[in-house]
A and B are shown apart, each in its own frame.
Chain A
């Protein structure tokens, strides 16, 4: 591995997109151009995949009554990720639960940065803890993506939520574009991917479920890999029934999931896979969470206790 001591200085760009802050750092030649290109990729993902933009491709797709709809290559890749996420997680990470997400109170873009985090333990007093289950209807299994023809076939009542998968996809696309630089990192609202030809492993701190708390763990992550964090304390919603909830839905019940875990961070070769692993680990609950963290990770129980999971040698990408 080369050291990066002779690379140009690190330059960073920070901007609002994908419902939060995005931060991209690059050390390389012509860094300004590369940062601009990376920013354009993120903004394109937001423009196509935001469900809060009335004229986004996703909004048009969700409103389209025809069973077969022409789609862009970007949408094709996103929908392929949606199917992969659901299939590899046994239907737990289901981006077709948009109706349930909206019933939970997430109908419009909300600035959660100003919101106070829910204290650990506050949710377990509302509902009993139990592992999440897949939706028996498995609408995601009826999604057929034909990337070559630029078409998707799906039941017209099925609607998609880009959510964390969209952020992961943005991070992965930027990583693909910057792979040949000396060093890069991208932070999409807390989901990270970093790498570059001169990058070595990095130590990544895991932020506390409380906004003000100290980091709860530190993960060693190989170059080129990603870390994603999912949790239920920083996006507190008020549902249609007035019940306090959050945006991570148990597909089996259609209600916010309360499994005994309030936050999971997962390491994986891609940001999309890290998102899938983090969400699946949270949804299965404390007894099985570690099985989803093969590449390493950490989770926090609803009593505030943090657990770190070491990577296993036999870890392999989801496929």
Chain B
């Protein structure tokens, strides 16, 4: 029959058990994190270059006549997704300006 543990031994056993549990949890979190990173990388790699994930607005075609002045006429909007050309940053939210 096991006798009562010395309080110091009991505390040490408790610490060991807790450390084992923490290591297990950390391994699990690391595995999950790695999986997410891989999944995200794959999804980004499969996305056509130069596109962003969330921005969906009317496309804008320009006329050639006014381009030299920096003013371009925006033709009838369509439902196509834009292909941003000058930035690869993924912005965290869609922003829209409207009459205030």
**Is A227 in contact with B97, judged by CB distance below 8 angstroms?**
yes
* Residues of A close to B92: CB separation below 8 A: 4, 10, 25, 27, 183
Closest chain-A Cβ to B45's Cβ sits at a distance in Å of: 15
- The chain A residues found within 8 Å of chain B, CB to CB, are 1, 3-4, 10, 12, 20, 25, 27, 164, 167, 183, 185, 187-192, 194, 199-207, 209, 213-220, 227-231, 233-235, 263, 265, 290, 298, 305-310, 312
* Residues of A close to B82: CB separation below 8 A: 203, 218
**A308 touches which one: B52, B74, B84, B86 (CB < 8 A)?**
B74
**Is B58 in contact with A216, judged by CB distance below 8 angstroms?**
yes
Known: A214-B57, A216-B77, A308-B74. A290 touches B96 (CB 8 A): no
Known: A218-B82, A308-B71. A229 touches B100 (CB 8 A): yes
Known: A215-B77, A307-B72, A309-B70. A207 touches B95 (CB 8 A): no
**Is A200 in contact with B91, judged by CB distance below 8 angstroms?**
yes
How many interface residues does B have (CB within 8 Å)? 30
Which A-chain residue is minimally distant from B89 (CB atoms)? Answer: A200
Q: How far is the CA of A191 from the CA of B92 in the complex (A)?
A: 18
Q: Assuming A214-B77, A229-B99, A233-B99, what are 20 further A-B pairs, CB within 8 angstroms?
A: A183-B92, A190-B98, A202-B95, A203-B84, A203-B91, A204-B95, A206-B98, A207-B98, A209-B99, A214-B57, A215-B58, A215-B77, A218-B82, A219-B97, A227-B97, A230-B99, A230-B100, A298-B74, A308-B60, A312-B70
